[in-house]
Chain A
Amino acid sequence: MNSNNKNRAEFLSLFMSNHKAIYAYILAVVCDVHNADDLMQETVLFLWDHFDQYKSGTSFIAWARSVSRYKILQFFDRNKKEPAFLTHNLLEAIEKDLDQREHGLDEQFRILQNCLEKLPSEQRQLLQDKYNKGLNINQIAGVLGNTANALYKRMARIHLALLDCMNRSMKIREANP
């Protein structure tokens, strides 16, 4: 493998290991899916463009997060009509909370898969409509003939049930390593 290919392989490996955490961080800060998608793309392109500045063995996620933070600042600077969602103190609280769980993300995803399989089929269908088909909740409500308000409440309960299942499973695994 020549140095170019090694570079690509290393970048892809680091990126694939960390992309979920990078995206979650951006989404947590801007709390808007479309803006988060745009910022993720900008961040990844920047990371690749400047990958020669990355020093092997150091924290890729820390570098990626600092880049994404910078891109988010640029974004809010460009879009004066979109005020930053989080205050400085709140941003710090969210970062601190995220720091404490980055290492367990892969495990959480495995647990999530198990919890999804326990959901009643109609609830899983709603999640499929939302996430696989890419419909927003208003659109699903329209198709089902529900009010958007009722569907938001129902979706909130489904998400809470999933989180509850994941938390209980994590505790069981921690108790039985």
Chain B
Amino acid sequence: MNSSAANARLCEWILRKLEGTLTAEENDALIQQLESSPDAVHLYNDMILLYSSLATPGRISLSPKTSAPSSKQLDDLLFSMAEAENDAPSLEIEFTPKTPEIIPTQNITIEKAVSKINTTSLVTAIVSLAAMTLMIVYVILNPRISTEVATLADSIDAQWSSDSPVKDGGRLVASTPLHLLGGTAKIITDKNVELLLEGPMEFSFDSVSELRMKYGRLTAKVSSQGVGFSVNTPNTKIIDLGTEFGVFSDLNDSTELHVFTGRTNLVTLQNNTIVSSQMVTEGLARRVNPLSEIQTIALKTESFIRHIDSSHQLILRSRQLNLADMVGGGNGSNTGQLNAGINYRGDIDILDTVSSAQGPQHYIPVDSSIFVDGVFIPNGSTRVSSQGLQFDFEPTNGRYWMGILNGAWHKVTISAQIPRHHLRLNGVEYGVDGRPAMYLAANQGITFDLESIRTYYKADVTEFTALCGISETYNEYKHLMDKKAFSDSPRADFYVLVDGQCYYERRDVTPADQADSIRFSIPAGARFLTLATTQGNDNTNNGDWTLFAEPVLHLK
């Protein structure tokens, strides 16, 4: 007999196999074990019988408070159904006789049946009974084919109409009208299709693979198991072909389809008759007007919810996290405070600046944010994480301006009178609504904890993108600068590190240089992402109005 640990592993593999989540390697190992051990075969059959018994309602009760119907009760019910079928009206079904299939049997003599009664009546009776038998089989053997089709997995501020109250964890039943008055809800169908709904919305499930919406807004993320899932609106049928897409339908019979990944088939309908059909692929969007005409529209990714998590009261309309927002105390989805930032006490506060200041010589952990590991002043060999990772920067004067800001503005009041103004890269003003930026005036560095971000969002972090440069506004104010303290052309360096390794470096950037785009993949399992700026070869941090514009982490 195998050890209990080996049996537990075998049981787990069998469960995974039954649920379709066994990997190819585990599948091979399972087969190998079954082939080499009769005990394993016995346990396999034990598990199959147990699984099918538990999945068969009627005889086994999982609830201690209710007793299962007796065998006799169940048989009586079935026979009464059979008797009732006698009195049921005949079904008008077109029937094409098939050549009987020959099946090898044991001790069975195959004889052609001789018809002794009216063929049509017999066929009708057989079809009726077959349908009834099928229904019995459905009821007895397949709990999923009961009308339950999906589960309300999560919700935030969801208000359901009193006609259709639903609670988190509650099961949803096909053909039942549901009315989400407000808030958001996440539904997972029994074929693993994730639906994010935004109230107000009226809808119902026709089946586990089909949702009908009267009006509302939803995002569907369809797993390979759920391919073929369709969303029906009054004038369209949108069939998923392996994808993530958003649908908006209004009360005027206008429907928008936005395809984020993969492809869909958009079928337009008028009076339930197909008018047209076209493939809509990743990055495209279509509007179907009340006349069922298809129009091309711009993709609106942020019009649809992409993730909700009630434990954090989190609603994401994008799979992109704004790192500047985290600097302002947010969670990356614009919940932080603009113009707040991290100072060298490790606090998040509204930041202001008077002049350059001497920074600390050690790493400052930031306990007030779960996403930010810490901040530091780069100067030669410098610690860049709480885990003690070091990086060799060029030596600096150890001074900095302001702190690390969720925003992009600067002013000078002592050595010159430079008014507070927004910083600009490539002609675009940042630190304003819709144009996030992290102002990281040299010499400063910040390290984000990727592991915390993964845990919080239950997602992989795949890519970092940003734009970096020295604000071109410097050139507009340099004539006001004290020539002793500020140069005509300040220089600065930019660094982006992953786990202390340099992934991006740009040296001696000036305000006259075009801002540079950064984009790189983040390795799976990487723990820390560090952004830093240093003073460059002009040996001063004065005038280094260095910023990372639209610093974004991409989730998958």
CB-CB under 8 A from B74, the residues of chain A are 16
- A residues near B (Cβ < 8 Å) are 4-5, 8-9, 11-13, 15-16, 19-20, 23-24, 27-28, 31-34, 37, 40-41, 44-46, 48-50, 52-55, 58-59, 62-63, 66-67, 70, 85-87, 89-90, 93-94, 97-98, 101, 105, 108-109, 112-113, 116-117, 121, 124, 127-128, 130-139, 142-143, 145, 148, 152-153, 155-157, 159-160, 162-163, 166
Nearest chain-B residue to A61 (Cβ)?
Answer: B106
Q: A143-B151, A159-B11 are in contact. List 17 more A-B contacts (CB 8 A).
A: A4-B117, A9-B79, A12-B133, A27-B52, A32-B20, A37-B141, A46-B101, A85-B31, A90-B34, A101-B49, A113-B59, A127-B54, A127-B62, A139-B153, A139-B192, A143-B169, A159-B15
Which of these, B42, B103, B108, B311, contacts A97 with CB under 8 Å? B42
> How far does the alpha carbon of A132 sit from the alpha carbon of B63 in the complex, in Å?
9
Query: Taking A45-B134, A70-B104 as contacts, is the C-beta distance between A113 and B68 under 8 angstroms?
Result: yes
- Chain B: interface size category: 35 or more
Q: Looking at the complex, which one of B82, B108, B151 makes contact with A12 (CB distance below 8 Å)?
A: B82
Chain A residues whose CB sits within 8 angstroms of the CB of B146 once the complex forms: 134
Q: State the main secondary structure of chain A at its contact with B.
A: helix
Asked if B53 is an interface residue, CB under 8 A from chain A, the answer is yes
CB contact under 8 A between A31 and B17, given known A94-B45, A113-B68:
yes
Whole-angstrom CA separation of A152 from B26 in the bound complex? 14
Given A58-B108, A70-B104, A132-B143, A24 and B78 touching (CB < 8 A)? no
Question: Is there an interface contact between B38 and A41, defined as CB atoms closer than 8 Å?
Answer: no
Q: How far is the CA of A139 from the CA of B171 in the complex (A)?
A: 12
Q: Give chain B residues whose Cβ lies under 8 Å from the Cβ of A55.
A: 107-109
Q: Which of A31, A66, A117 interacts with B18 by CB under 8 Å?
A: A31
- Min CB distance B556 to A, Å, is 17
Inter-chain contact B45/A101, CB cutoff 8 Å: yes
> Could you tell me if B105 and A62 are in contact, using CB atoms closer than 8 angstroms?
yes
A65's nearest neighbour on chain B, judged by CB, is B106
Name A53's closest neighbour in chain B (CB-CB).
B110
Q: Which of B14, B21, B52, B151 has the most CB of A within 10 A?
A: B52
The answer to whether B145 has its CB under 8 Å from any CB of chain A is yes
State in angstroms the CA–CA spacing of A97 and B49 once bound together.
12
Given contacts A62-B106, A94-B41, A127-B62, contact A136 B19 (CB under 8 A): yes
B144 on interface, CB distance cutoff 8 Å: yes
Q: Is the CB of B62 within 8 A of A124?
A: yes
Whether the pair A23, B62 counts as a contact (CB closer than 8 A) is no
Cβ–Cβ < 8 Å partners of B57 in chain A: 132
Could you give 30 example pairs across A and B, Cβ below 8 Å? Answer: A9-B79, A12-B82, A19-B137, A24-B48, A24-B49, A28-B44, A40-B137, A45-B133, A52-B113, A53-B109, A53-B110, A66-B106, A70-B101, A90-B41, A93-B38, A94-B34, A94-B45, A97-B41, A112-B60, A124-B64, A128-B63, A133-B151, A135-B151, A139-B151, A152-B15, A156-B8, A156-B9, A156-B15, A157-B8, A159-B50
CA distance A4 to B82 in the complex (A): 11
Q: Which 7 A-B pairs have the closest CB atoms?
A: A156-B11, A156-B12, A52-B113, A131-B54, A134-B144, A62-B106, A28-B48
How far is A49 from B59 in the complex, measured between Cα atoms in Å? 27
A134 contact set on B, CB distance < 8 A: 143-144, 146, 148, 171, 190
Minimum CB distance partner of A116 in chain B = B62
- Residues of B within 8 Å of A139, CB to CB, are 151, 153, 188, 192
Bound-state CA distance A20–B129 (Å) is 20
- A109 contacts across to B, CB distance below 8 A: 53, 59-60
User: In whole angstroms, what is the CA distance A169 to B344 when docked?
Assistant: 68
Report chain A residues within 8 Å CB of B151: 133, 135, 139, 143
Measured in the bound complex, the distance between the Cα atoms of B144 and A117 in whole Å is: 24
Q: Is B63 a contact partner of A90 (Cβ separation < 8 A)?
A: no
Beta-carbon contact of A160 and B4 below 8 Å: yes
Given contacts A66-B104, A131-B54, contact A16 B130 (CB under 8 A): no
Asked if B56 is at the interface of the complex by the 8 Å CB criterion, the answer is yes
Interface check B477, CB cutoff 8 A: no
- Shortest beta-carbon distance from A31 to chain B in Å: 5
CB closest chain-B residue, reference A135: B151
State which of B45, B86, B103 has its C-beta within 8 Å of the C-beta of A67.
B103
Chain B binding surface SS class: helix
Does any Cβ of A come within 8 Å of B16's Cβ? Answer: yes
- Tell me the bound Cα distance from A162 to B82 in angstroms: 36
B388 within 8 A of A: no
Contact check, A33 vs B18: say whether CB atoms are below 8 A apart.
Answer: yes
Query: How far, in whole Å, are A2 and B46 apart by their CA atoms in the complex?
Result: 41
A45-B130 in contact given A8-B82, A31-B17 (Cβ < 8 Å): yes
- Whether the Cβ atoms of B105 and A66 lie closer than 8 Å is yes
Q: Are A137 and B101 in contact (CB under 8 A)?
A: no
Complex Cα spacing A85 to B51, Å? 18
Could you say which of B7, B17, B59, B109 contacts A160, with CB atoms under 8 Å apart?
B7
Instruction: Indicate whether B487 reaches chain A with its CB closer than 8 angstroms.
Output: no
Give residues of chain B (104-163) contacting chain A, Cβ–Cβ below 8 Å: 104-111, 113, 117, 125-126, 129-130, 133-134, 136-138, 140-146, 148, 151, 153
Contact between chains at B62 and A132 (CB < 8 Å): yes
Q: B434 at the A/B interface (Cβ < 8 Å)?
A: no
CA distance A55 to B106 in the complex (A): 10
Contacts A37-B145, A44-B133 given; does A136 touch B190 at CB 8 Å = yes
Q: How far is the CA of A67 from the CA of B106 in the complex (A)?
A: 11
| A130 CA / B330 CA spacing, docked (Å) | 37
Which residues on A sit within 8 Å (CB–CB) of B53?
20, 108-109, 112
Using CB atoms, name the residue of chain B closest to A142: B153
The smallest C-beta distance from B57 to any residue of chain A, in angstroms, reads 7
Residue B75 CB within 8 A of the other chain: yes
- The reply on B275 being an interface residue by CB < 8 A is no
Cβ-defined contact, B42 with A19, below 8 A? no
CB distance from B21 to the nearest CB of A (A): 7
* A32–B55 CA distance with the chains assembled, in angstroms: 13
A27 adjacent to B50 (CB under 8 Å): no
Give the CA-CA distance A48 to B136 in the complex, in Å. Answer: 13
* A8:B129 contact, CB within 8 angstroms: yes
CB distance from A81 to the nearest CB of B (A): 12
CA distance A40 to B113 in the complex (A): 24
Of listed A109, A138, A159, A166, residue having the most chain B CB within 10 A: A159
Closest residue of B by beta carbon distance from A38: B142
B489: CB under 8 A from chain A?
A: no
Q: How far does the Cβ of A102 sit from chain B's closest Cβ, in whole Å?
A: 10
* Complex partner residue of B21 from A63, A66, A148, A163, CB under 8 angstroms: A148
Cβ of A20: which chain B residues have Cβ within 8 Å of it?
52-53, 56
How many Å lie between the Cα of A136 and that of B17 in the bound state?
12
Distance to closest chain B CB from A12 (angstroms): 6
